[in-house]
């Protein structure tokens, strides 16, 4: 009896264990109808913010079962369930993500497959630059401390004006005005300048930051100083000859007054020999011209001719301040004020011996066929002095 009871208990235990094994196999995918999961991706390395397409359509399940659903886990805290074996996902966190698909058939059997996706982080921009400069100054734009979180090298692209299309491709916001880590930018006009810096890593990930630079005008003190410009020339001319002299007395200033005198030497015997006469002419680059002929007002004086003129331009105000982009621009503005440009540029003096009358011949020869002359010129010029005083 004891032996028979023991055999019966063993038989019951074996039956219970068989039932348990069948139940566990159905839950864990170890049964005969377990599906076979298969997973692929169109790419396994992307930049942050890009999308990957996943394909599990090559997964299978033994007949007569059918695949009921696909459960996706993207490894970044996001998941979804689909009836189709394809899906896509956009990754917004950098690093490695283990993407897993669970394939379930209509009997509840399951299998899993996974694939690793690397999401490359964009580079980090570190920009050091001034908040403002004065017109005509150079701003140092420094992006050398920018870096790639994965430790790779970077490239830097500067667009110095996002509203100006320097490469003429129709898009003002994609210019490459410099590719240096540290770039120098000179701006000659006051105002706001907006630009951008773009940093690219070894995998093509891009970060862009816009910047703004205030360019302020410079302040200058204006002073006009009186200067007397004197010049003297001399020579000898015979009948019909001419002499041309060029000079620029009012460079960097404003001509106010002109006084000039051409003097001829006395004849050897003034009472017996006729006086010679020359013509003096003046042509200015600004378009004004005049002339004068020598004459003798008194027999005891040398023959002379004069060209004099006052109020060539108005007397300028002095000792005030003006703002401008540069000293050169302000100087050009003040020296080229309407109505105040008389006498600028080159002056051309022409001296012509046009009346050297024949003198009493000596042995049949005119002893004095020409004359010595001297031209003295005095010009009062107000010279412009500009000095920067701020800001």
> CA-to-CA distance for 317 and 278, rounded, in angstroms?
40
Instruction: Give the residue among 221, 260, 232, 252 at the shortest CA–CA distance from 381.
Output: 252
What residues have CB less than 8 Å from 118, skipping those under 6 apart? Answer: 44, 45, 46, 95, 96, 97
The pLDDT confidence band at residue 2, using thresholds 50, 70 and 90, is very low
Q: Which of 17-26, 27-36, 72-81, 240-249 has the lowest mean pLDDT?
A: 17-26
Report angle CA 233, 229, 331 to the nearest 5 degrees: 135
**CATH architecture observed for domain 221-390:** Sandwich (2.60)
> CA-to-CA distance for 84 and 69, rounded, in angstroms?
7
pTM for the model stands at 0.65
Burial of 159: CB neighbours in 10 Å, binned 0-12, 13-18, 19+? buried
**Cis ω on the peptide bond leading into residue 182 (within 30° of 0)?**
no
CA 241, 245, 246, 249 torsion: positive or negative? Answer: negative
The pLDDT confidence band at residue 219, using thresholds 50, 70 and 90, is very high
| 31-83 per-position pLDDT tens digit | 578 999 999 999 999 999 999 999 999 999 999 999 999 999 999 999 999 99
pLDDT at 296: 79
Taking every pair of C-alpha atoms in the chain, what is the biggest distance, in angstroms? Answer: 186
- CB atoms under 10 Å from CB of 144, counted, come to 13
Average pLDDT (112-132) is: 97
Coil, strand or helix at 19: helix
CB 200 within 8 A of CB 157: yes
Question: Which of 3.40.50.300, 2.40.30.170, 2.60.40.10, 3.40.50.2000 would CATH assign to domain 132-216?
Answer: 2.60.40.10
Q: Looking at per-residue confidence, does 75 or 370 come out higher?
A: 75
Question: Which of 2.60.40.10, 3.20.20.70, 3.20.20.140, 3.40.50.300 would CATH assign to domain 33-120?
Answer: 2.60.40.10
pLDDT at 272: 52
Structural domain spans, the chain: 33-120, 132-216, 221-390
> CA-to-CA distance for 337 and 238, rounded, in angstroms?
43
Q: List, as one string, the DSSP characters of 24-55.
A: HHHHHT-STT--B---EES-SEEETT-EEEEE
pLDDT over 50 (residue 288): yes
Burial of 257: CB neighbours in 10 Å, binned 0-12, 13-18, 19+? middle
Same CATH fold, 221-390 and 132-216?
no
Torsion of CA 386, 388, 389, 390, to 10 degrees: 140
pLDDT over 80 (residue 332): yes
Task: State residue 15 phi and psi, 5-degree precision.
Answer: -65, -45
Burial of 320: CB neighbours in 10 Å, binned 0-12, 13-18, 19+? exposed
pLDDT over 90, % of the chain: 77
Task: State residue 231 phi and psi, 5-degree precision.
Answer: -145, 145
The whole-chain average pLDDT of the chain stands at: 88
Return the residue matching tokens 């003034």: 270
């Amino acid at each position: 009896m004891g032996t028979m009871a023991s055999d019966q208990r063993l038989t019951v235990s074996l039956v219970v264990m068989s039932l348990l094994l069948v139940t566990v196999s159905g839950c864990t995918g170890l049964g005969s109808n377990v599906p076979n999961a298969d997973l692929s991706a169109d790419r396994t390395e992307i930049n942050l913010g890009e999308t990957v397409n996943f394909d599990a359509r090559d997964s299978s399940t033994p007949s007569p079962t059918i695949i009921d659903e696909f459960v996706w886990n993207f490894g970044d805290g996001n998941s979804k369930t689909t009836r189709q074996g394809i899906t896509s996902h956009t990754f917004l966190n950098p690093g490695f993500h283990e993407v897993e698909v669970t394939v379930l058939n209509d009997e509840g059997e399951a299998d899993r497959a996974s694939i690793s996706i690397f999401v490359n982080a964009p580079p980090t921009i570190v920009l050091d630059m001034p908040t403002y400069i004065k017109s005509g100054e150079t701003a140092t734009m420094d992006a050398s401390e920018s870096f790639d979180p994965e430790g790779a090298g970077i490239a830097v692209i500067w667009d110095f004006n996002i509203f100006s299309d320097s490469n003429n491709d129709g898009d003002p916001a994609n210019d490459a005005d410099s590719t240096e880590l540290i770039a120098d930018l000179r701006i000659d006009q006051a105002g706001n300048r907006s630009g951008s810096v773009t940093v690219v890593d070894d995998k093509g990930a891009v970060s862009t930051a816009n910047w703004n630079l205030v360019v302020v005008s410079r302040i200058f003190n204006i002073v006009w100083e009186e200067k007397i410009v004197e010049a003297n020339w001399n020579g000898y001319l015979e009948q019909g000859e001419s002499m041309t002299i060029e000079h620029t007395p009012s460079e960097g200033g404003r001509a106010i007054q002109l006084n000039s005198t051409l003097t001829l030497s006395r004849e050897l015997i003034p009472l017996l020999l006729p006086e010679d006469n020359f013509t003096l002419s003046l042509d200015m680059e600004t378009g004004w011209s005049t002339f004068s002929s020598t004459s003798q007002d008194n027999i005891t004086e040398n023959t002379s001719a004069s060209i004099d003129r006052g109020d060539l331009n108005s007397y300028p105000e002095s000792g005030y301040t003006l703002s401008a982009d540069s000293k050169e621009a302000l100087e050009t503005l003040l020296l080229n004020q309407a109505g105040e440009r008389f006498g600028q540029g080159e002056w051309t003096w022409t001296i012509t011996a046009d009346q050297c009358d024949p003198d009493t011949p000596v042995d049949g020869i005119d002893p004095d066929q020409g004359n010595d002359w001297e031209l003295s010129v005095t010009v009062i010029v107000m010279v412009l002095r500009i000095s920067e005083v701020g800001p």
